[in-house]
Amino acid sequence: MSQPGFTIRPVQDSDAQRLEEIRQAAFAPVFASFRSILGDDIYAIAQAREDEEQEELLSAMFKPNSDWELYAAEWAGRVIGFVSVQLNRETKVGEIGLNAVHPDYRGRGFGTAMYNFAVDRMKQAGMEVATVATGGDPSHAPARHVYRKAGFTVEIPSVWMCQKL
């Protein structure tokens, strides 16, 4: 990443509110897209609860007993994104989990840098395969594009993406 002042670091408890703001801003269009695709009735029954639970998932990642490593992406002293990484030492599979770049900072290479960081972390930990799951709907097209830029080139129809390390 060639943006001066860009760093990725482990989160601190004081980052929680900012990461939640980023999550809300980044996923609002995705949740709206789901609602549009599914219609209000189906969305309310089949998807809304899962979308609402995403806040709890992010919060749980801050806990010391979490299975996830959580990193904040900073640029010019401001947290602009985050990425979570799970390392399964038994299977040697690493996974990128919940992640986002604030919409105000998209398109500048920050997402690619975060995913490259996550893959490097997996390699460092001895993982042999990196995975990421994303939606196949139109609102996830930008995410799929950036995952591909970061080397996730093996896909199955459910749009679960893998990269051999």
Domain CATH for 40: 3.40.630.30
Query: Does residue 1 lie in a domain region?
Result: no
Mean pLDDT of the region 28-49? 86
Give percent above pLDDT 70 in the chain.
Answer: 93
pLDDT average, residue stretch 24-36:
91
Total domains present in the chain = 1
pLDDT for position 164: 29
Q: In this predicted structure, what is the pLDDT of residue 162? A: 28
- Domain assignment of residue 71, yes or no: yes
pLDDT at 121 over 60: yes
Contacts of 26 (CB under 8 A, 6+ apart): 100, 101, 102, 103
Task: Tell whether the model's pLDDT for residue 35 goes beyond 90.
Answer: no
In a domain, 73, yes or no: yes
**Torsion sign, CA atoms 23, 59, 77, 132:** negative
Task: For residue 42, tell me if it sits in a domain.
Answer: yes
Residue 53, Cα to own-chain centre: how many angstroms? 15
Domain of residue 138: give its range: 6-164
